[in-house]
Structure 1
Amino acid sequence: MAYQNLISEIKEGILYLTINREKALNALNKETLTELAEAIAFAGKTNEVRGVILTGAGEKAFVAGADIKEFSDYSGKQGEELAQKGQDAVFNAIENSPKPFIAAINGFALGGGLELAMACHMRIASDHAKLGLPEVTLGLIPGYGGTQRLTQLVGKGKAIELITTAGMVSAVDAEKIGLVNYVVPQTDLISKAEEILNIIKQRAPLAVAAAIKSVVSSINDVNGYQTEISEFGKCFETEDFKEGVSAFVEKRKPVFTGN
């Protein structure tokens, strides 16, 4: 896959996606969002990809926000369309992907950057990272799911505080409030994400996808329990279920094929 604003590479079942606009602090412009949408769709339908690590180029920023110049003169209708398109093609697409996405936050994750990280299923931050949603300083609010996902992760009170004050939190504080899973030194950032995905790679791929779908459904659907029940039932029809049970009985490691 050749992109202008992304570096994309598959190694040992992991798709590494790096937003490569270091001079612009990896800000999300239209072209970058379009390329991200393509890469997310590719990951979801490609069996070779078992998980995705998403990060930013350099050590200053994961993504320092959206490219404000692109929508500074938008009307209300255009703004609504911008948010809808971005959420559908990128942010919701990540959250609803059957493949686990890990955001490796290597610096500033602000505005659309933090929204991108929150759309991922897990987040790991370098110890110098700073996170925040500063949109109200521009007379805006987060438009790529930030008000919803931050509330889901840290609770209503803390979400309202962070959004309305536009304050940044350190990586350590982000871990304390549940915004990130782990904080590690910059040099260990990618290896920590790899460590998690290498464990997930040993599990049944269809079951992993079903688990992600069910967890996301607990937040986004009226009856997440029913989604879980349905996905649980579907697992019984897979070859991986038969293999898992056989391996358990025979006291050996299972060999899953994703079927």
Structure 2
Amino acid sequence: MGVRLHSGAVAEVIIEFPPVNALPAEGWHTLARALGTAAADPRTRAVVLAADGRGFCAGVDIKEMQRTEGHEALLAANRGCAAAFAAVYECPVPVIAAVHGFCLGGGVGLAGNADLVIASDDAVFGLPEVDRGALGAATHLARLVPHQLMRTMVYTCRTVPARDLVRFGTVLEVVPDRGLRAAARRVAAEIAAKDPVVIRAAKASLNGIDPMDVKRSYRFEQGFTFELNLNGAGDRARQRFVEGR
């Protein structure tokens, strides 16, 4: 359980936090460190980010927040998410997200910052943040779906299937779940076969011309989450979720 790193030319970072891969605050930092370790290895030419279990990622562990006094768990989770999302984006080699089942909340932050996304045929993407009394990762959802759909998904908390993202060109392909990891490794191997110096330069250049500063944009969103917690709306929404209401 936790985060596993398999090193090599195609490194694999695997998330496993049963039952639904809702990461505790420290889990996000563990994920960021694993990605950093992979990035620091000169042998690494591409990274596959995947998960074991029922889905790719259900976001933060809300129950951890509700059983912790004060705001420390919330602050730790927000810092952890920011660190993990940045580790994906700033990885000096391409990151391929292999998404299965649900990709929600913080999962969208990871997938949206990846260079490529391959999904299983049961994968869905969504931001339930409004129902949880929080905001965030619309920055990353905007990299996966058109603007008006992003707004609809934020306001309604609806999910969108991976097959729709293929139409938008933001998911490379949809494959059966049993072939997901192999499909991600196949694309990663294609990239790893290129000149690594050129690929790293390509990643740096593409980040340099990105029209959105994803770190600053996400931090702006987080500010509203803090505001919702100060006025009590965040805690009320999280408690409704914990109580199943």
Measured against the shorter chain, the TM-score band is 0.7 to 0.9
Mapped partners of 2:212, 2:21: distance in 1: 33
Match of 1:107 among 101, 104, 113: 101
The DSSP-based 3-state class of the residue aligned with 1:48 is coil
Mapped partners of 1:154, 1:43: distance in 2: 28
Match of 2:155 among 146, 156, 164: 164
- Mapped contact 2:108–2:141 kept (Cα < 8 A): no
Which moves more between the two structures, 122-131 or 173-182? 173-182
Mapped partners of 1:24, 1:198: distance in 2: 31
Deviations 1:208-259 (A, max 9, x none): 111112212222578xxxxxxxxxxxxxxxxxxxxxxxxxxxxxxxxxxxxx
- The residue identity in structure 1 corresponding to 2:152 is E
Q: Which has the larger radius of gyration?
A: 1
Counterpart of 1:63 in structure 2 is 57
Q: 1:8 to 1:168 in 2, by over 3 A?
A: same
1:48 aligns with 2:39: no
- The residue identity in structure 1 corresponding to 2:167 is K
Deviations 1:24-49 (A, max 9, x none): 21111123212112111111110122
Which moves more between the two structures, 30-39 or 100-109? 30-39
Q: How many residues align?
A: 212
Q: 1:47 to 1:109 in 2, by over 3 A?
A: same
Mapped partners of 1:84, 1:36: distance in 2: 12
- The residue identity in structure 1 corresponding to 2:28 is L
- Mapped contact 2:21–2:55 kept (Cα < 8 A): yes
Mapped partners of 2:105, 2:23: distance in 1: 10
The DSSP-based 3-state class of the residue aligned with 2:92 is coil
1:25 aligns with 2:25: no
- The residue identity in structure 1 corresponding to 2:3 is L
- Mapped contact 1:43–1:99 kept (Cα < 8 A): no
Q: Percent identity?
A: 31
Matches within 5 A, 1:94-133: 94-133=88-127
TM-score, length basis structure 2:
0.78
Q: 1:99 to 1:74 in 2, by over 3 A?
A: farther
Counterpart of 2:227 in structure 1 is none
- The residue identity in structure 1 corresponding to 2:36 is A
Q: 1:17 to 1:62 in 2, by over 3 A?
A: same
The DSSP-based 3-state class of the residue aligned with 2:209 is helix
More relative contact order in 1 or in 2 (CA 8 Å, sep 6+)? 2
Mapped partners of 1:221, 1:132: distance in 2: 20
- The residue identity in structure 1 corresponding to 2:171 is V
TM-score, length basis structure 1:
0.74
